[in-house]
Homo-oligomer: A and B are copies of this chain.
Amino acid sequence: MARNKHPEETVNRIVEVSLRLFLEKGYEYTSIQDIIDGLGGLSKGAIYHHFRSKEDILEAVTEKLLGNSNRMLTKIRDCTDRNGKEKLKTLFRESLMRPGQEELFAVAPDIGKNPKLLFSILQDTVDVVVPIYVLPIIEEGIRDGSIETDYPAELAQLIILVANVWMNPMIFEDTPEVSRRKFLIFSQMMKGFGLDVIDEEILARLEELTKIYQKNK
């Protein structure tokens, strides 16, 4: 077999084809053989050279989709045309509104049945998203007077964990109706912290994404 001179290209092709298949057939119903067929000519060995398992491929697919997320968070954190509280609102809005979220919700595996995946999401939230993106926004809000709290790090961690984990229909298997009620409780919690940063438009979008996720399960 000829040696592959462009391993990155191969990885990219595997990820792209897999994403398309996960969207079309669903993750559970896509086999490694389907991916091989979709790649047209790549051997099983070539796939297993880069990925240990289908779960490994899913991780790469998810990372690709999450990469866009970090770029979005950086942009909001570093923009100069709004105060901390407005940035927090933009963050919640963009997290749900931006393009690509339909895809993420459509391919998303049942995280609530996968302890390892849930664990890695928790770790990413606590170790990366909160300290690198959300905390600086809250600290900016304290400086500019738009946010009031004595414990910015803990407030940041609490609201993001509740938003990313508790309100995540992929983890809790919520119906759109339960999603709606959780959102309204979350909204009340945020107001209790003086953070009236979520609105009806964001709620409608969350319900829409929950429906997409449920449909593709």
Contacts and interface: CB of A to CB of B under 8 A. Distances in A.
Interface residues of A, number: 28
B192 A155 contact: no
Nearest to A191: B192
A69 to B, nearest CB: 22
A106 to B, nearest CB: 25
A52 to B, nearest CB: 18
A193 interface: yes
A79 interface: no
> What copy number does this chain have within its complex?
2
A166 interface: yes
Contacts of A29: none
Interface string A165-187: 01000001000001001101110
Contacts of A158: 162, 166, 182, 185-186, 189
A6 to B, nearest CB: 35
Interface string A146-158: 0001110111011
A85 to B, nearest CB: 16
A161 B189 CA distance: 14
Contact of A115 (B116, B162, B182): B116
A184 B151 contact: yes
Contacts of A157: 166
Given A151-B182, A154-B178, A189-B192, 13 more contacts: A115-B116, A115-B118, A149-B185, A153-B181, A154-B181, A158-B185, A158-B186, A158-B189, A188-B192, A189-B189, A191-B192, A192-B192, A192-B193
